[in-house]
Structure 1
């Protein structure tokens, strides 16, 4: 995988902070109201919008749920219009070192298209939980390339191994965990309902 330059990361985070502030304004919400909708503290929201801190995967997930967007949709809103051919060096990479999570937007959201493709890597012990889907009924297809991914959907836990594909519609909480001593690498295709 290619590396994203520090300048690209700074530009992305600056645009993301501005987009988060604009989304809140579009909804007519105060910081307190957004805190109630998202479960993210008012002080964290304020610091995110001023770009004093970088959002974690968990915080972005909560904000995406409040705004009814997938994380990829939100990130696509802060990037230039993607070309039809997305070369490896053009694919946006998001890292949450504290959570042990890396996501590459292989085929980012595009106006008029309902699907997107994301490559994800979870480090051993990584455990990501989402309280609700950003969009109810979002279709997921997960194809594991290496390692073992433990996925819990609707209270049902499954181990997905290399070559396996798990598909479902997401209506409630979800949990993704790296099961084992090796990182898990997988492709996630999402399709809007």
Structure 2
């Protein structure tokens, strides 16, 4: 996963000169584990991610996929945007389009743009998601139980499963729900799907 560039598989090493944001993210993940008083084995048990993968993530030796980062966010009770905001160097009330962080997960075919300016103290955020045809992403649990989401499809078709209920969304459709369990996002094709998500913390 990269900020504004191509992604890497979690088993593949990052380049010799990783993105500075990714390096700060790795350091923040390591600090979060220490702040919670967890060993790598403890975190592996809580997330289902192997100890060796967690160790390499915290040392910025590999780049996490969206699914892996989702598991870590759930363990730490943070949305992905909040986690990214915690590693931004200069939070602002305004973020121009060309400065919005973009993450690519080539493994799953997912691109995520953080539209809202980063802020750790506010409860709402907007993100843009793009899934290529056939892309299918599942999350075991929300980062915060009862998380409210509004999903507005801008282009294409999106299948969303939330708490075992599946919805077929097309351009212009908007779905709202509070998430307590598993969720899944699938693009059936034949074109990519682009959608906006508003997330509101309970």
- The TM-score range, normalised by the shorter chain, is over 0.9
The aligned counterpart of 2:133 is 124
Do the aligned residues in 1 keep the contact of 2:82 with 2:120 (CA within 8 Å)? no
Partners in 2 of 1:74 and 1:142 — Cα distance? Answer: 21
Q: Which runs of structure 2 are paired with 1:132-171 in the superposition (5 Å)? A: 132-171=141-180
TM score, norm. by length of structure 1: 0.94
Partners in 1 of 2:100 and 2:183 — Cα distance? Answer: 25
Do the aligned residues in 2 keep the contact of 1:72 with 1:108 (CA within 8 Å)? no
Partners in 1 of 2:77 and 2:117 — Cα distance? Answer: 17
The aligned counterpart of 1:4 is 4
Gaps of at least 5 residues in structure 1 are: none
Do the aligned residues in 2 keep the contact of 1:150 with 1:158 (CA within 8 Å)? yes
Cα shift at 1:155: 1.0
Matching residue within 37, 59, 64 for 1:55: 64
The 1:5/1:101 distance shift into structure 2, 3 A limit, reads: closer
Q: Which runs of structure 2 are paired with 1:9-88 in the superposition (5 Å)? A: 10-88=19-97
Partners in 2 of 1:127 and 1:112 — Cα distance? Answer: 31
Do the aligned residues in 1 keep the contact of 2:148 with 2:201 (CA within 8 Å)? yes
| RMSD over aligned Cα atoms | 1.8
Do the aligned residues in 2 keep the contact of 1:108 with 1:117 (CA within 8 Å)? no
Partners in 2 of 1:63 and 1:44 — Cα distance? Answer: 12
TM score, norm. by length of structure 2: 0.90
Of 121-130 and 109-118, deviating more is 109-118
Do the aligned residues in 1 keep the contact of 2:92 with 2:117 (CA within 8 Å)? no
> Between Structure 1 and Structure 2, which shows a larger proportion of helix residues?
1
The aligned counterpart of 2:193 is 184
Cα shift at 1:178: 0.5
The 1:74/1:112 distance shift into structure 2, 3 A limit, reads: closer
Give the length in aligned residue pairs: 191
Do the aligned residues in 2 keep the contact of 1:120 with 1:187 (CA within 8 Å)? yes
Per-residue CA distance 1:135-154 (angstroms, 9 max, x = gap): 00111001100010000112
Partners in 2 of 1:135 and 1:128 — Cα distance? Answer: 18
